[in-house]
Chains A and B, each alone.
Chain A
Amino acid sequence: MSLFIDTQFLLILLAGIFTALAASFLGVFVIVKRMALASDVLSHVALPGMGLALLLNYDPMLGAAAFLILAALAVWAIEKKTTLPPESIIGTFFVATLAIGVLLVPDEELLKSLFGDLFAATILILTIILSRRLTLSIIASDLAKSIKARPDAAYLGFLVLFALNIALGIKLIGSLLMGALMILPAVAARNFSWSMKSFFSISIILGVLMMTTGILIAKYFEFMPGPSVIITGIVFFIISLLFKRG
């Protein structure tokens, strides 16, 4: 029995680590783009998709992914057309989708289905490939355009990865924790960092540490991993404040 539990525990730990890797890398862009709260909001966008999929007898994650990708595309299109800040557009999605979501979603059953670590690894790799172009389009979209680097395409790619990452996180650790997993490693890492590269690296390290420590503590004391992962992240953040470089 204990062997069975350990294998399952290791699988969860592994999935957690992969998710943390992807989320904390992407999280750097999320906080730089000032979209920290958007991750929570986006996770609610997934709810009606999941509800609908359950009603129609599909895997709820399919529904979530479809809705999140649609939302990302719509945000991108509306932002391009109106130049409204992304957060306000996402906020609009929030109220609409939350209302529908409350009506459609049954209960915790949603959080039980399983995804693959491959999914997280893919997000991580795509983010790495995108990171230079995305960085350039954030610091100076004019410079990006002047070398024909398509900043809007980079941003769209970012939004889609962002949405996929949240879809992954909802399945694995719940929507609440997913927001924290993106934000906390990155904000803590920023206080330790002296360059973009160190920013990414430290964020990833903190993300994995936070996830592993949180899950281990939860197993030891036998409570839910979600809160203990978040609290570990908060502790990292508080420690990072002591290291803040002027």
Chain B
Amino acid sequence: MNNESHENHQGHKNHKHSETEHIGPILEVRDLSVTFGNQEVLKNVSFSVNEGNILAIIGPNGAGKTVLLKALIGLTSYDGEVKWRSDIKIGYVPQRLPETESLLLTVKEFLILKSKHLFFKDKEWLSAINHELESVGLSSTILERQLKNLSRGQFQRVLIAWAILGHPNVLLFDEPTAGIDLAGEDTIYNLLRRLHQDRGLTILLISHDLNIVYRYANNVLCLNKERLCFGEPQKALTNEQIEKLYGKNVFYHHKH
């Protein structure tokens, strides 16, 4: 399945992206370390991501996965080197938003916040919003609903729509399916794969689910404060690695 998606993507890239194709990775990370106070959260993590690839980041709770994503886009300070290729545009999907209750924001109002305009001139942006809602499988009737009244799955899709507004070429997902039931989880990953195929996006995603890693990712980064493995899932993610990462009984360990 993985190979198939990769080929599809390559085909797409030859059509649309041939003139912007660059040699070398789209992201290169060297010796990335993050400390909070005197607590070491990440230690000397190195890896790279090629254009159009899906990198899955896995690790137990508290392994520093979210911090890694935040460091990659400069939301937290770090030591070491994070080198993005210069032509990239990043869409970021956080796990949750800290404050949606008190502001009564509707889906439409939330999506408008990404517009560069500080007020007015929203027509183009609104049609872009409608388009992206469609691509994440939501109908435009959801526009007038308040964020706080959405289901977890709908909310996740709205966050994804937010991220892909304005055509980024890299997406960062912080646990796209946290708190979503299994059926919903499946469709969210299908959605991600479709975005990946249709748009040639490079995707970095945090996941708890090893099945997802095998099915969708080109590469996997195992993290527990430091890098424990990196490479193609089939090669890098050996049983010993998994045990080392999560301890034994790994498949029953999916706590959130």
* Residues in A lying within 8 Å of B, measured CB to CB: 31-32, 128-133, 135-136, 138-143, 145-147, 190, 193-199
Contact = CB atoms under 8 A, between A and B. Distances in A.
Interface stretch (B56-64, B109-117, B177-185, B216-224): B109-117
B90 interface: yes
27 contacts: A31-B102, A32-B102, A32-B103, A129-B119, A132-B112, A132-B115, A132-B118, A132-B119, A135-B103, A136-B113, A139-B97, A139-B103, A139-B105, A139-B113, A140-B97, A141-B98, A142-B70, A145-B73, A145-B74, A146-B73, A146-B90, A194-B106, A194-B146, A195-B104, A195-B146, A197-B109, A199-B104
Given A135-B109, A143-B97, 15 more contacts: A130-B118, A132-B115, A133-B118, A139-B113, A141-B98, A142-B92, A143-B162, A145-B73, A145-B74, A145-B75, A146-B91, A147-B114, A195-B106, A195-B109, A196-B106
A182 to B, nearest CB: 16
Interface of B: 70, 73-75, 90-92, 94, 97-100, 102-106, 109-110, 112-115, 118-119, 144, 146, 162
Given A132-B118, A140-B97, A143-B97, A196 B75 contact: no
B72 to A, nearest CB: 10
A8 B13 CA distance: 72
Given A128-B119, A132-B119, A194 B104 contact: yes
A195 B118 contact: no
A8 to B, nearest CB: 35
Contacts of A195: 104-106, 109, 144, 146
A143 B75 CA distance: 9
Contacts of A147: 114
A142 B119 CA distance: 21
Contacts of B92: 142-143, 146
A135 B75 contact: no
A139 B162 contact: no
A139 B110 contact: yes
A136 B94 CA distance: 14
A146 B146 CA distance: 23
Contacts of A138: 99, 103
B103 A142 contact: no
Contacts of B144: 195
A246 to B, nearest CB: 10
Contacts of A194: 104, 106, 146
Nearest to B162: A143
A37 to B, nearest CB: 16
Contacts of B102: 31-32, 190
Nearest to A29: B103
Contacts of A196: 103-106, 109
B118 A139 contact: no
A190 B103 CA distance: 9
Contacts of B74: 145
A32 B110 CA distance: 16
A61 B28 CA distance: 55
A198 B70 CA distance: 34
A227 B202 CA distance: 61
B10 to A, nearest CB: 28
A137 to B, nearest CB: 10
